[in-house]
Amino acid sequence: MVGVTPLAGTLDVRGVSKDFQERGRKVRALEGVDLRVEPGEFVCVVGASGSGKSTLLALVAGLQTPTEGTITLDDLPVDGPGPDRGLVPQAGTLYPWRTVERNVAFGLELLKVDAAERARRVDWYLAETGLSDLRTALPRQLSGGQQQRVAIARALVCEPEVLLLDEPFGALDVQTKEDMQVLIRQVWQDTGKTVLMVTHDVEEAVFLGTRVVVLACDPGRVAADVTVDLPADRDLSVKRTPEFLAMRASLEDLVRAQHNAHNARVTAGDR
């Protein structure tokens, strides 16, 4: 369309299935997943353990290839990892011998970004993630929450179109986790990035997301896709409101039903 510049960061997962071979048997991890994420959306994917959340993220990250279907980012097929998608894994992926600032700079070194621009961007994202005073520390000197801040800054510094997070706060205590939830929402508001995050924590998903997608199990597929109708500038106090609690309860029931059905199939020997 003439005169219309589409916003960057449109992710389109269409008809995606993924099979794995496990001890000679085919395991269908995902089946017929359709998920379109518009620029600037914050989509949280929740589901019971084994519903294919990590597989979905690995496919979008380009670390794995779909068995069926296509994944595009801004209409270009995803066919491997790329700097247009920044991945924040669960924990423990920092380079132990690199300082905080050199961990954050790593992707820019790979991309051969010149030193002045590298320093400018590293400074900005260290400040954004509250790490400026820790720039010369080594990962082992940091708390779990601080280490995940580094992982977030490291993913953002390459200025990806889409930020991908796989249960990034799963290993943190409740208070630190909430600090990180506030941080990631602030980062999202400041940068306007498209965010796709998977979590088993429904409360986290409702607090963070503009949309929550629930995956069903065996095989993983979209069971629900709901818009979060809460104020855009929410803070932690929203978690106590009736609207929040009602949405949380209905989504938790859905995830619980999937988990129970999966357990029943395992007990019956179907899986």
Of residues 182, 186, 230, the one with CA closest to residue 210:
230
181 binds Mg ion per the rule CB under 5 A: no
Q: Give the residue, chosen from 10, 17, 51, 54, that forms a contact with Mg ion under the rule CB under 5 A.
A: 54
Of residues 194, 169, 196, the one with CA closest to residue 56:
196
Read off the tokens for 213.
């997608």
- For Mg ion, the closer CB: 54 or 194: 54
In the complex, the smallest distance separating the C-beta of residue 265 from ligand ADP, rounded to whole angstroms, is 11
Read off the tokens for 135.
């720039």
In the complex, the smallest distance separating the C-beta of residue 154 from Mg ion, rounded to whole angstroms, is 20
Read off the tokens for 91.
């924990």
In the complex, the smallest distance separating the C-beta of residue 162 from ligand ADP, rounded to whole angstroms, is 18
Tell how far CA 217 is from the center of its chain.
Answer: 19
At residue 107, the 3 state secondary structure works out as helix
Q: Is the peptide bond before 219 cis (omega within 30 degrees of 0)?
A: yes
Among ligand ADP, Mg ion, none, what binds residue 29 when CB lies within 5 to 8 Å by partner kind? ligand ADP
- Specify the stretch interacting with Mg ion by CB under 5 A; choose among 48-56, 141-149, 182-190, 237-245: 48-56
Among ligand ADP, Mg ion, none, what binds residue 20 when CB lies within 5 to 8 Å by partner kind? ligand ADP
List residues near ligand ADP by CB under 6 A: 20, 22, 27, 29, 47, 49-55, 220
Number of separate helices (H) and strands (E) present in the chain? 7, 10
- For Mg ion, the closer CB: 47 or 107: 47
